[in-house]
Structure formats: structure tokens, C-alpha cells
Amino acid sequence: MNEQQEEAASGNPDMFRQLGTITRQLHDALKELGYTDKLKGTVDQLPDAQSRLSYIARLTGEAAEKVLNHVDEGKAEQAKIAERGRQLADTISRVPGLARAMPELLEWSKDIVSLSEKSDARLTDIMMAQDFHDLTGQVIGRVVQLAGTIEEQLLSLLLQSAPGGQPGQDHAIVDQPALAGPVVNAEGRTDVVSDQAQVDDLLASLGF
Amino acid sequence: MSTPMKFLIVDDFSTMRRIVRNLLKEIGHADADEAEDGAIALSKLRNGAFNFVVSDINMPNMNGFELLAQIKQDEKLKHLPVLMVTAEARKEDIVMAAQNGAAGYIVKPFTKATLEEKLANIFKKLGI
């Protein structure tokens, strides 16, 4: 029980008793309506949902790493191509009369350098795009955690439906981490920023 | 820049560590090491000669705020600039980072130009 919950409990001594009564009534209603089996089915499916989400996180992570490996190799090759282009331009310029006789040679070698630099910049963009793994991974992590909490709570509900279960034995309430991770939908929210410019403005307004 | 700087990149996602490391290399800072959480980072900082820390916030074991606090409480480390690079976009997190001594704050996803600009600002401010 965290500080807030303890405070709430000490301030409202009847609160947990009432919650227990409501929970018991809910259990009875679930049993009467025959939902216990359905609830059990849901609880059984949650670990599967968690493992599927973890599988997605692992696979996207591996895909991102694979892309980064190719980017590393591509960048090394682009650097060599650009270097060769520079050497070619230099060689053509040093052969007497060649640049004048065949100006296109110099032009082509400069194109090689310029295009390889553009390709390198594209590879940087491809590399940066792999940050999706970090961002989606954090969101998936939160959902897996949430599914775990729901599973625990549903399991507790089922246990309490069984004979001998007592209201108030629910230990499923867990502390939520203070950090929220990426903002999935910032629309209409004033407590979050949606881009770097807003971060800079906020810090500047505070004198940092 | 006169002397090469050694960076420590702290992030629990290997993909992000790699991206930041490659970006730093492109910007001209090839000397970098990595740590996957604040606790490992702190150990590396205490046993190595680093000049700059680029840290995520949301990490297991020891998060970025705790790492920042530990660095600023340590006589030998408190001079280190710490740039937070994180997905945490809540204003209170940004303010907390600044108040606790972070040298800068970048919110993910970010661009190479943003990282370059923030580093240049920090270097200028610290006279590096």
C-alpha cells in the first residue's frame, strides 16, 4: 500500500469495507450470470497477449538492428565511393590536357562525390527512423505491464469468487511507475510537449 | 575543438544507443562508450575518464533522473554536462531535469541537426 492509499484508508475507515461489499456483490453477480468461466478465459488469454506483444517488440528490435547493420555497411561503402570520386577528379586534373579534352570526366567524378554524399545523408535518415523501436518498445512495455496488472486483478477476483475468499485480500493494486514514456496522443493536453521547439520554449521561459 | 571528448551514452534500448553513437561520430565525436541503465553508467563514470553524458530518462534499475542526481552529488563527476535525450514529454519532467542540473533536454524522436545544435549550445555555454 502506498502513502496515498494509506492516507485514503485512514481518512475513510469504512472505505475498504464498502469496497469489499461491492466486490462481493460483483462476484455474486458474475457467478449468477455465469461470467466466471468467461472471466477465467480472459485471464488465461492475457499471458498469451503479453507474449505476443513481447514477440512484436523483439522482432521489431531485431529488424531495427538489421537495418542499422546495413546502414553501417552502406555508410562505409559510400565514404569509399566519395573518396574514390575525389581521387578520380584529382587524377584527371593532374593529367595534362585531359580535363580540357574530356571535360565530362571531371564532371562525372564530381557527380560521384556529390551523389555519394546525398546517399550518405539518406542513410543517416534511415538510421534515425529506426528510433521507432525505442518509442514503440516503450509503449509496448507499458501495455504489457498494464496487461500484467489486469491479469493479476482478474485472478484475484476469480480467487475471491471461490469458497474461502475474503474481500480485502486483493493485493493486485501495484504502484504505477512515475515515468509515463512516449505520449501517444498529445492532442488537447497541456501538460506535455509535442516537439523539440516546445521543449526549447519551455526551458527558455524558465531562464535555462 | 582542441581535445577529443569522451561520451557516455546511457539508454536501455540498444537501437537508440547505436543511433546516438553513430550520430556523435558523424558530428565528430568518435570516442564513446555505452551503458544500458543509470547504475551501469554511474559505475563506468566512476571508473573512467568521460567528458560528456547523453542519457535517457526511462530506464530500469536507475533512471535518468536518479543518475543525474548521483552525478551532481558526486564531487568528481558533478562538472560533467548531462544531456537528456528522452521520450518523456511531460513539462514537469523537462523542468525537473533543468532544475536538477541537466545541460540540455532533447525529446525523441529527434534529428541529427537537433543533437548537433544542442551540443554546440552546451559547448559554447561551458566554454569547451
pLDDT in tens, A149-172: 888 888 887 776 665 545 444 444
State the smallest CA–CA distance between residue A61 and chain B in angstroms.
7
Q: What is the DSSP string of A7-46?
A: HHHHH-TTHHHHHHHHHHHHHHHHHHHT-HHHHHHHHHHH
State the smallest CA–CA distance between residue A137 and chain B in angstroms.
9
More confident residue, A143 or B39: B39
A positions 53-72 inside 8 Å of B (CB): 61, 64-65, 68, 71-72
Percent of chain A with pLDDT over 90: 35
pLDDT tier at B69, thresholds 50, 70, 90: very high
Residue B59 DSSP class: -
Which of B15, B87, B98 shows the shortest C-beta gap to A208? B98
| Overall pTM surpassing 0.90 (yes/no) | no
Which of A127, A192, A206 shows the shortest C-beta gap to B98? A206
In one-letter notation, the amino acid at residue B8 is: L
Looking at every residue in chain B, the average pLDDT score rounds to 94
pLDDT at B124: 93
Q: Among B14, B58, B85, B118, which would you mutate to test the A interface (most chain A Cβ atoms within 10 Å of its Cβ)?
A: B58
- Which three three-digit cell numbers place residue A55? 514477440
**Contact A128/B18, CB-based, under 8 Å?**
no
Which of B14, B16, B26 shows the shortest C-beta gap to A131? B16
Which of A128, A186, A202 shows the shortest C-beta gap to B94? A202
Collect all residues of chain A within an 8 Å Cβ-Cβ radius of residue B103: none
pLDDT in tens, A172-188: 444 445 566 777 777 77
Q: Residue B19, by phi and psi: left (phi above 0), alpha (psi -120 to 50) or beta? A: alpha
What distance in Å separates the CA atoms of residue A165 and residue A159, rounded to the nearest whole number?
6
The CATH code that applies to domain B7-126 is 3.40.50.2300
What distance in Å separates the CA atoms of residue B57 and residue A181, rounded to the nearest whole number?
9
pLDDT tier at A84, thresholds 50, 70, 90: very high
Mean pLDDT of A77-98: 95
Lowest mean pLDDT among A27-31, A143-147, B12-16, B23-27: A27-31
Mean pLDDT of B53-72: 96
pLDDT at A164: 52
- A156 close to B35: Cβ distance less than 8 angstroms: no
**Contact A199/B105, CB-based, under 8 Å?**
yes
State the smallest CA–CA distance between residue A186 and chain B in angstroms.
9
In one-letter notation, the amino acid at residue B65 is: F
**How many CA atoms, within 13 angstroms, populate the side-chain half-sphere of residue B90?**
9
Q: What is the DSSP string of B6-23?
A: -EEEE-S-HHHHHHHHHH
Q: Enumerate domains of chain A plus CATH numbers.
A: 14-174 (1.10.287)
pLDDT tier at B88, thresholds 50, 70, 90: confident
pLDDT tier at A145, thresholds 50, 70, 90: confident
> Which residues is A23 bridged to in the sheet?
none
**Contact B105/A130, CB-based, under 8 Å?**
no
State the smallest CA–CA distance between residue A199 and chain B in angstroms.
7
Residue of A nearest to B122 (CA): A208
Q: What is the DSSP string of A155-185?
A: HHHHHHHSTT--TT------PPPS---S-S-
